[in-house]
Structures are given as structure tokens and as C-alpha cells.
Amino acid sequence: MAAVEMTDAAPRTRAALDFDAIIIGAGISGLYQLLKLRELGLKVKVFERGTGVGGTWYWNRYPGARFDSESWSYGYSFSKELLQEWDWTEHFSPQPETLRYLNYVADKFDLRRDIQFKSRVVAAHFKEATRNWEITLEDGSRHTTRFLITAIGPLSTPTMPRIEGVDTFKGEAFHTATWPHEPVSFEGKRVAVIGTGATGVQTIQEVAKTVGHLTIFQRTPNWCAPLHNSKIDKATMEGIKKRYDEIFARCKETHACFVHTIDPRGTFEVTPEEREAFFEYLYASPGFGIWQGNFKDILTNREANALISDFVARKIRERVKDQAVAEKLIPKNHGFGTRRVPLETKYYEVYNQPNVKLVDIKETPIERITPKGIKTSDTEYEFDMIIYATGFDAITGSFHRIDIRGTDGQTLKDAWKGGPQTFVGVQVAGFPNMFMIMGPHTALGNIPRSIEYNVEWVADLIEYMGEHKLTRADARPESVEAWTENVRAAGAGLLTNEVDSWMTGINSNVEGKQVRTLARYSGSAIAYRAWCDAVAAGGYKEIDLT
Ligand code: NA7
């Protein structure tokens, strides 16, 4: 790729700016964006709040954290050399291995020299006169740049529950997303877990292996399905390495970039026997197949959804011995797959252990956290440790922790008052030269696949700007409107959007997130890429380039 000649046409010359591009975050997005912009010849700096690379996989060190995507479909695909060098040891990699992988990538491509750790960005202001961004770090230092790239992740600002007395507990207390770097022992301890989302489920099944006594505080049960993880031996890994082209081609063809693809049949187009056999097959297969590779109508047709929900409910009843507990674990207010499906390994069997108790806090609400433990409406439980698996201020939360101001001093918070509005999830009108990787309304799914696409699209746009001596890129309001309308249309009829979850913009612990918003793009990644490809091929007419 040719080096970009940055133009001096703008009021502020390249030489007068500290950087051509500042990237916030050194996770999967930030690392690859750094590499791509460096290839263009740009002077780039990454500011990262952690002490190391890895983003999600740096922070989420909680027990049992691992991929729910097949490891070999999740790693970067851009470097054939990297693909051939790296050996995954499990089909669904545990967090320590993933973190080692991302460190390996950072070293291999010599990325660290442009990353400044322990550097939280607190403000980013666009300067119209000079067409550049001024970034302020927590330590007060300021840095100027032509382009600002946010690589801050959609699930990176953990939220604690709004329960009285959280700070009064005298024992150990951890949020899963800020888990300590040192080993934590559960042996002989009385441990509480609050939260039963994808994170809570992974945590619970791991903690249960060694805990003295475990109490799970569940507000809403989720529909979980077996992960079926297994080790990868050398011969299998060699086979995977030979198939990488095929694997990534497959991810490009599927709705959400997983290796699983929607079955073209409708739930009622087969006999009841065929249907049951297919559900059994999916339940016995590894990964997200039961969610992403099921009949085409399970997330749009209520009757179809009821059938798969009934099937999974039967499985729960079979696996949990105490039927009163099983009933509590079966979701009643939403159907299978309409929230993110936690993948589990003997999760339901945990509830058969004599040292495990499930507390349904819809029946007996938590009143407060006390110095000794947790007080519900009917009793006070004493604990040595409380684990908060209470999720994130998702999608917009990490943006709102930074004072981002675009043209005329307008804040991003104001611009997104009624919910996020973006152009293809990458730009916001009135915030020129700011590009978001994994911003709201981009394609999600098997995230690294979407990240690579976003990163390359942004790099191409910046290269185009260099070639055409352009220094300002601002999404046109009408382009934002058109994309937002497309996001709305893509989500129409989806049962997922009728349910409270982070995917519909809900977080009971965050002010202003009690009402569902158009929080994410739920169309296919294929359609997303087609839209973005057309924008690039047409010379970025949807963006005001000057
Ligand atoms: P989630 O999916 O947002 O789950 C958070 C869990 O915490 C969920 O069970 C919540 O219950 C529960 N929660 C949150 N606040 C409270 C309070 N105040 N009291 C009791 N229970 C509470 O976050 P995860 O970290 O599990 O997963 C996020 C994504 O990361 C996941 O989808 C993957 O894509 C990776 P609720 O359901 O709101 O009743």
C-alpha cells in the first residue's frame, strides 16, 4: 500500500500536529488499526487505560472466561504468517490463551512502541479552525491529531448494581470485568454471584468446582446451551491451518460472521420428528449452532420460537434434579435466542451440588448489601466474597465516559440523547475525522471479523483522503438518517428487539437506560459490508469530504 501524503492544505499543517491519528484502546480493534495506519505511513499513537494490550481479554480475567466463537474463526485473519504460526489449544479458547495470543500479535508486529499504557482519555474536542482533534488524558496532558479513532469496545464499561450498601461489604468483592491479576481462591469460602448473563454463567460453573458454598442471585434466567468445548491436538491444528481460507470465506457468507449459518428451512416445513432430531443435533453440537444455525424463523415466528424454547426447557428439566429449581432456571419472559445465548459447560448441573443455592430475587428481592453479605426481603446471607457479574453500560457507555465534542462544541452525549445515530456505525454527523471501530450500529456477531472489516474500511477512507488532499470528513446528516432507517428496517419483526437486554439498550443500573432504543444493527454482516463497499466504490459521497 502506498504511503499517504498528508496534505498541508488545512489551516493546521501536519507538522504542527502531534499525530496523524490517535487511537483510543489497544484491544483487538486498536491493535489492528494501528498496524493498518502505520502501513499508510501515518504517525499514530494509541492511548490505552490498561497496563497491557488485549482490551476485553485484558480486563475480563474472571474464572472461566473464554470464547463462545470457535477460536480458529475468532483470531485475526489478515496475516497468513500469523495464522500459520499460532496454535490454538482449545476449540473455544480460555481467556489466558487469548491474552497470550494478543500479546504475541503486538510483539510480532512491533506494535508496543506506539502504545502508551495507563493513559485514560478523558476528553476529545474537535477544533474546527485547524481541523483536528485535541485529546486530553487523565494526567492532564494534551495531544493533537488529524484523525481520532475510537477502538473502545461495545462492552467495556462495567456497571455495578444500584443496590444500597454496595460499598459497605467487608469481604472480598469483584466485578468480573475488573477481575484482579492475581489468582483468587474460592476454596472453603462462602461466595455469592449476582448476575446470570453470559459472564455469570461462565463464572458460576467455574467457581462451583472449588467453592465452599455458592449462592447465585438470579433476577432473570437466560436460555443457555452447551458449548461442547474440546482440546485441539497437533494434527487437528495442522488441518485447521490448511483450511483457513475456507474458514474465513465461510465467515464472510454467514449472517453474523460465525462458522454457523441459518438453516434455510422454516420450523414448520419439516415433520415434528425431523424437527426434534435437528434440535437434538444442534444441542449436541459445539458452539452457537443452536442459535445461529437453527431454522430460519426461530427469531421471527412466535410459534417457531416457542418450539425451540420448549425443547431447551425440557433439557433444563432433565439436567436439574430439583424441579422447583429447574422451573426457576427456565426463562418465562422471553423466548430462546432473543437475548444473547450464554454457552455453558455443566452449568445446569451446578444446581445439583449440595453446596449450591439459587436465590430468585424476583421472589425475594435484594434489599441491600451489608457489611456481612446480602440482605434479601426474607433473610440476610453471610459471605466471604461477592462476585458482581452485572454486565456493562453497553455500546454507548464507553463513549459517554469521555467528553467528546464535535463542531460548535456539541457533545456526543447530546447528539445521542434519544439513542445512537451513526453513519454505518463508523461516523457521527458533526464529529468530523472521528471514526469508530465497533461503534453503535455496526455489524456485531463474531466480532473480530467485523473489526477487521471496519478497520480496513477506515484505513481505505483515510488513504483516499490523503490521495485527494482532503483533511476533513464528516458524515452527511442525510447519510446518517438513511443508515439509521436501514438499522431500524433490519430489526423489524425480530423478537430480539421486543426483549430487555443490553442489545436493546437496557441497563437497569444506568440512568437513562430504562427505555429500549435502537441500540444495535441486527441485519446481516453481508448486507452491512455491501452497503459500506458501495460507499467506498462510489467515492464516499455520503461523507462530506473537504
Ligand atoms: P449481561 O448479559 O448484561 O448480564 C448481566 C446480569 O446481571 C444479568 O443477569 C442481569 O439481570 C444481572 N443484573 C444486573 N444488574 C442487576 C441488579 N441490580 N440486581 C440483580 N441482577 C442484576 O452481562 P454479561 O457480562 O453477562 O454479558 C455481556 C456480554 O458480554 C454478553 O452478552 C457477551 O456478548 C459478552 P437482568 O437480566 O438484567 O435481570
Instruction: For 399-448, give the DSSP string.
Output: HHTSEEE-GGG-BHHHHTTTS---BTTTB-TT-TTEEETT-TTS--SSHH
Query: From the CB of 155, is ligand 1 less than 6 Å away?
Result: yes
pLDDT tens-digit map of 166-182? 999 999 999 999 999 99
Q: Is the dihedral of CA 370, 376, 380, 381 positive or negative?
A: negative
User: Which residues are within 8 A (CB) of 496 and not within 5 positions of it... i.e. 6 or more apart?
Assistant: 299, 337, 338, 339, 503, 504, 522
CATH superfamily, domain 11-53+111-157+394-471+522-545, is FAD/NAD(P)-binding domain (3.50.50.60)
H-run or E-run covering 267:
none
The mean pLDDT of 431-441, rounded to a whole number, is 98
Share of the chain above pLDDT 90, in %: 97
Share of the chain above pLDDT 70, in %: 97
The protein residue whose alpha carbon is closest to atom 20 in ligand 1 is 219
pLDDT tens-digit map of 186-212? 999 999 999 999 999 999 999 999 999
The mean pLDDT of 472-495, rounded to a whole number, is 97
Choose which residue among 199, 215, 438 to substitute to test ligand 1 binding: the one with the highest number of ligand atoms within 8 A of its C-beta: 199
DSSP state letter for 79: -
Going by pLDDT thresholds of 50, 70 and 90, the confidence category of residue 418 is: confident
The protein residue whose alpha carbon is closest to atom 23 in ligand 1 is 391
The mean pLDDT of 279-297, rounded to a whole number, is 98
The protein residue whose alpha carbon is closest to atom 18 in ligand 1 is 161
Query: From the CB of 506, is ligand 1 less than 6 Å away?
Result: no
The angle that helices 272-283 and 302-319 make with each other, rounded to 10 degrees, is 60
User: Which residues are within 8 A (CB) of 239 and not within 5 positions of it... i.e. 6 or more apart?
Assistant: none
Task: Enter the pTM of the model.
Answer: 0.96
pLDDT value at residue 10: 45
Give the nearest ligand 1 atom to 361 CA: 20
Going by pLDDT thresholds of 50, 70 and 90, the confidence category of residue 2 is: very low
Q: In a 3-state reduction of DSSP, which class is residue 186?
A: coil
The mean pLDDT of 275-288, rounded to a whole number, is 98
What is the CA(501)–ligand 1 centre distance, in A? Answer: 8
Query: From the CB of 220, is ligand 1 less than 6 Å away?
Result: yes
Choose which residue among 157, 390, 393, 446 to substitute to test ligand 1 binding: the one with the highest number of ligand atoms within 8 A of its C-beta: 390
Strand partners, 90: 231
CA angle 320, 321, 324 (to 5 degrees): 85
Q: Work out whether strand 543-545 and strand 473-475 pair parallel, antiparallel, or are unpaired.
A: antiparallel
What is the CA(430)–ligand 1 centre distance, in A? Answer: 33
What is the CA(357)–ligand 1 centre distance, in A? Answer: 19
What is the CA(314)–ligand 1 centre distance, in A? Answer: 24
Q: What distance in Å separates the CA atoms of residue 239 and residue 232, rounded to the nearest whole number? A: 10
Going by pLDDT thresholds of 50, 70 and 90, the confidence category of residue 183 is: very high
pLDDT value at residue 15: 65
Going by pLDDT thresholds of 50, 70 and 90, the confidence category of residue 13 is: low
Whether the pLDDT of residue 14 is over 90: the answer is no
What is the CA(317)–ligand 1 centre distance, in A? Answer: 23
Choose which residue among 508, 511, 514 to substitute to test ligand 1 binding: the one with the highest number of ligand atoms within 8 A of its C-beta: 508
User: Could you tell me which of 179, 152, 123 has the C-alpha nearest to residue 413?
Assistant: 123
Name the one residue in this structure whose C-alpha cell is 437434538.
280
Whether the pLDDT of residue 8 is over 90: the answer is no
Query: From the CB of 502, is ligand 1 less than 6 Å away?
Result: yes
Choose which residue among 61, 203, 219, 450 to substitute to test ligand 1 binding: the one with the highest number of ligand atoms within 8 A of its C-beta: 219
The protein residue whose alpha carbon is closest to atom 10 in ligand 1 is 195
Whether the pLDDT of residue 11 is over 50: the answer is no
Query: From the CB of 95, is ligand 1 less than 6 Å away?
Result: no
Going by pLDDT thresholds of 50, 70 and 90, the confidence category of residue 121 is: very high
Going by pLDDT thresholds of 50, 70 and 90, the confidence category of residue 410 is: very high
pLDDT tens-digit map of 215-235? 999 999 999 999 999 999 999
Query: From the CB of 64, is ligand 1 less than 6 Å away?
Result: no
What is the CA(507)–ligand 1 centre distance, in A? Answer: 8
- Compare 7 and 363 and report the one with higher pLDDT: 363
92 and 289 in contact (C-beta within 8 Å)? no
The mean pLDDT of 39-57, rounded to a whole number, is 98
Query: From the CB of 198, is ligand 1 less than 6 Å away?
Result: yes
Query: From the CB of 200, is ligand 1 less than 6 Å away?
Result: yes
What is the CA(103)–ligand 1 centre distance, in A? Answer: 29
What is the CA(327)–ligand 1 centre distance, in A? Answer: 20
Whether the pLDDT of residue 312 is over 60: the answer is yes
The mean pLDDT of 445-454, rounded to a whole number, is 98
What is the CA(185)–ligand 1 centre distance, in A? Answer: 23
What is the CA(258)–ligand 1 centre distance, in A? Answer: 23
pLDDT value at residue 12: 57
What is the CA(83)–ligand 1 centre distance, in A? Answer: 34
What is the CA(533)–ligand 1 centre distance, in A? Answer: 35
**Separation in Å, CA 522 to CA 420, 458, 488, 489, 491:** 14, 21, 9, 9, 5
What is the CA(334)–ligand 1 centre distance, in A? Answer: 15
Give the nearest ligand 1 atom to 508 CA: 15
